[in-house]
Amino acid sequence: MQKLKAKCPRDDSSAANESGSGETTKSSDLEEPFRRKFPCLPGEEGLPCLDNDYSRAKAYLMKQCLSSGDNLWDHLNEVLQKILTERPKDIACTFEEFSYRVRECRFRPKTDHLLDLFVPPKHYTLSQKLLQLLEPKDDDTETGKTEENEEEGQTQPNIVEMFYYFEQGGVGLPKDEVFCLAAHLKKLVATEPIEKYRFWGKILGTQKNYFVAETEVNEEEIARINAEREEEAEKTKLEEAEKEAAEKEERRIKKEAEIEEAKEREIQFAAERSEAKYAEMLKEAHEKGLKEIPEKIELPPWPPIPPLPEPVVKKAVECPAEPTGTGINKKVYYVCQGLGEEWIKLPDVTPQQIVCARKIKRAFTGELESDVVTYPAFPGKEKNLLRAQIARISAGTQISPLGYYTFNEEEEEEEPEAELEGGKTNYAVNPDFEPVAIRDLVDPSMSFWVHHTQYILSQGRTSWWNPNVKEEQEEGEDEGEAEEEEAAEKELGPELLTPLSEDAALDTISPWSVRKTSAVFPEHSLALVRSNLWPGAYAYAIDKKFDNVYIGLGHKLTAGNYSPVPMPEIQEEYPIGPEIMEIADPTPEAEEEYRLAHEDKKELGEEEAEEEADMEEDEEEEEEEEEEEEE
């Protein structure tokens, strides 16, 4: 009864009054909703109520502190959760420490701007890379190269000036990007054995873009690259020869094993046939009642089955790649995937890659080592496809004003054979060049612009290679037989410095468009040329200055929708001749007609034979009668 008559807990308002002055919220205001939810019955105001007491206690613990916004209910929940998660040994002694840790984690002063994990800004990494490009050089490497180029009369290209002129025609890149590219190219020249360089262009990709630099390396580097290529080719040739010899030996051993197995099988089968024959002879002797037992015979084994014929596979003769420093590999190209990224040297291109690149159309991803999954299968990675497209674009879009370049007569006299085979290949800047007038440069006939990059033949080379010429003739082959081979028709492309007016159109689409950059100030304008076959290729010319640039996807224009190469025709298993031609079976009506026709002929033949026999008999009788009369 004492428990029932116990007084209710003291009013929360008194507790609130006893608490610090920082708490201004009255407990009665917080307990009012619980009083409405769990009202006391009349006469039971002084008795304890479990639901009412729990609600009032929870409301008291959930009172928020106006200074921090926390409450004791959430704090105790977090402390208990932390204790149950970590399960310390002496919780009674370390309870205050856990409470302090929880409160310390929740405490965030207004002056604390530090983060637990540092998240660098978006442009922080790029800024760090660009700062390295702008650092002054302590060594005199770049200065020495510049002085050497000035002594040789060579001037390094000014990319900022180049894009200044292109900007007047509405073509170009952001100025900050151009400035960083110029500094990045300076870094490339300082680290690689490069004699000349220029900014080739920018190829857009789905994930990353490619900035391309066109360079010319010195003769020592060219000799080193060619020597490495020859060593690698010899090594590959030896490995293929060893692999082929091993496969041939494996096939020979397998063939001999099959022959021996066939012989053993035939001997065993001959013994079985001999036993069967002997059993048959015994049975016949027993049936005939012979007393003599026949002798046992041994039948000889059948001759072995001849081996299956092996197909004679003729290896396709691959067109060799042009050495570094000549043809499509005359220039060396470097690419980077962003400002401040490392320059990566692209490998030399092969004729097979050029031929396949003409048949496919694939967007670049920006990853050099990504696979190129196409049909026909491309022989290489994306870096090889990128190099092939650069060679194609350069051969078709690198142009210059008429007369700016001239052929180098001194070097051509030393190499007359090259001139006869593929035309002149060496040219130099004409020191007596006079600027072409703007009205001539913007002439729609394009007669005052010329190509200064060699044309790529259908083989994928700039110089013709005869596939019928063998490096080493087989033993016993006469020279006369080699000369009698059908010579492939030699292909010759247009020579260097050929005017653009001779370029072929693509389905009534003019290959070039030319215009002035300004119609308001024509006296200060320059000529801007745009390629319609390779969208993104541009060239400008003013006074004695000109340049080329490409900014695009790296695809050639297709007049219609792109159509992939069709699948090859199904090969014939064997040549079809008259001896294996299948003929349809005759119908019953045709057989009946054939039978009747041949029966009529047979009857007529029998009647004629009887008549001839009768006539012969009559003649013999007449002869006999005449002989009798004479006697």
pLDDT higher at 400 or 481: 400
Percent of the chain with pLDDT over 70: 81
Tell me the per-residue pLDDT of 194-222, one tens digit each, with 9 for 90 and over. Answer: 999 999 999 999 999 999 999 999 889 99
pLDDT for position 24: 41
pLDDT for position 372: 95
pLDDT for position 359: 93
Q: Does the pLDDT of residue 25 top 50, yes or no?
A: no
Percent of the chain with pLDDT over 90: 38
Q: Does the pLDDT of residue 258 top 50, yes or no?
A: yes
Tell me the per-residue pLDDT of 354-364, one tens digit each, with 9 for 90 and over. Answer: 999 999 999 99
Tell me the per-residue pLDDT of 503-527, one tens digit each, with 9 for 90 and over. Answer: 988 888 899 999 999 988 888 899 9
DSSP element (H, E) containing 376: none
Tell me the pLDDT band of 12, cut-offs 50, 70 and 90. Answer: very low
Cα–Cα dist 165/546, whole Å: 9
pLDDT higher at 25 or 222: 222
In this structure, the strands spanning 527-531 and 512-516 are: antiparallel
Helices (H) and strands (E) in the chain, counts: 17, 12
pLDDT for position 398: 96
Tell me the per-residue pLDDT of 370-402, one tens digit each, with 9 for 90 and over. Answer: 999 999 999 999 999 999 999 999 999 999 999
Cα–Cα dist 419/486, whole Å: 25
- Specify which of 189-198, 262-271, 313-322, 465-474 reaches the highest per-range mean pLDDT: 189-198
Q: Does the pLDDT of residue 475 top 50, yes or no?
A: no
Backbone dihedral angles phi then psi of residue 200, each to the nearest 5 degrees? -80, -45
Q: Does the pLDDT of residue 229 top 70, yes or no?
A: yes
Environment class of 613 (CB within 10 Å of its CB; exposed 0-12, middle 13-18, buried 19+)? exposed
pLDDT for position 7: 40
Tell me the pLDDT band of 458, cut-offs 50, 70 and 90. Answer: very high
Count of CA atoms in the C-beta half-sphere (13 A) of 443? 15
Beta strands in 132-238 (DSSP E): 194-203, 210-217
CA angle 364, 157, 140 (to 5 degrees): 105
Strand partners, 381: 371
Tell me the pLDDT band of 484, cut-offs 50, 70 and 90. Answer: very low
Average pLDDT over all residues of the chain: 81
3-state DSSP percent of the chain in helix, strand and coil, to 5: 45, 10, 45
pLDDT for position 22: 39
pLDDT for position 423: 67
Rounded mean pLDDT of 220-234? 90
Long-range residue pairs from 380-387, CB within 8 A, at least 24 positions apart, any chain: 380/353, 383/344, 383/346, 383/347, 384/347, 384/349, 384/350, 384/353, 385/353, 385/357, 386/203, 386/210, 386/335, 386/346, 386/554, 387/333, 387/346, 387/347, 387/348, 387/349, 387/353
Sole residue written with tokens 């006369």: 480
Q: Does the pLDDT of residue 601 top 70, yes or no?
A: no
Tell me the per-residue pLDDT of 163-176, one tens digit each, with 9 for 90 and over. Answer: 999 999 999 999 99
pLDDT for position 165: 95
Tell me the pLDDT band of 476, cut-offs 50, 70 and 90. Answer: very low
Between 274-278, 415-419, 565-569, 600-604, the lowest mean confidence (pLDDT) is in: 415-419
CA angle 83, 87, 88 (to 5 degrees): 95
DSSP 462: S
Strand partners, 213: 199, 334
pLDDT for position 280: 86
Reduced to 3 states (helix: H, G, I; strand: E, B; else coil), residue 7 is coil
In this structure, the strands spanning 449-451 and 427-429 are: unpaired
> Roughly how many angstroms between the first and final C-alpha of the chain, as a whole number?
185
Between 100-104, 147-151, 210-214, 308-312, the lowest mean confidence (pLDDT) is in: 147-151
Q: Which amino acid type is present at position 6?
A: A
Contact 337, 313 (CB under 8 A): no
Cα–Cα dist 136/420, whole Å: 51
pLDDT for position 443: 94
DSSP 501: G
Closest CA to 465 of 484, 491, 483: 491
Cα–Cα dist 385/188, whole Å: 23
Cα–Cα dist 171/161, whole Å: 13
pLDDT higher at 135 or 462: 462
pLDDT for position 613: 73
Closest CA to 202 of 186, 181, 188: 181
Could you count the other beta carbons within 10 Å of the beta carbon of residue 538? 21
pLDDT for position 3: 39
Tell me the pLDDT band of 611, cut-offs 50, 70 and 90. Answer: confident
Longest CA pairwise span in the chain (Å):
186
Question: Which tokens go with 429?
Answer: 């800047």
Q: Does the pLDDT of residue 487 top 70, yes or no?
A: no
Residue by residue, DSSP assigns 236-296 as HHHHHHHHHHHHHHHHHHHHHHHHHHHHHHHHHHHHHHHHHHHHHHHHHHHHHT--SPPPP
Tell me the per-residue pLDDT of 583-596, one tens digit each, with 9 for 90 and over. Answer: 888 898 988 888 88
Cα–Cα dist 386/552, whole Å: 13
Tell me the pLDDT band of 540, cut-offs 50, 70 and 90. Answer: very high
Question: Has this prediction a pTM greater than 0.85?
Answer: no
pLDDT higher at 485 or 366: 366
Reduced to 3 states (helix: H, G, I; strand: E, B; else coil), residue 407 is strand
CA angle 604, 607, 610 (to 5 degrees): 150
Rounded mean pLDDT of 575-585? 78
Count of CA atoms in the C-beta half-sphere (13 A) of 586? 8
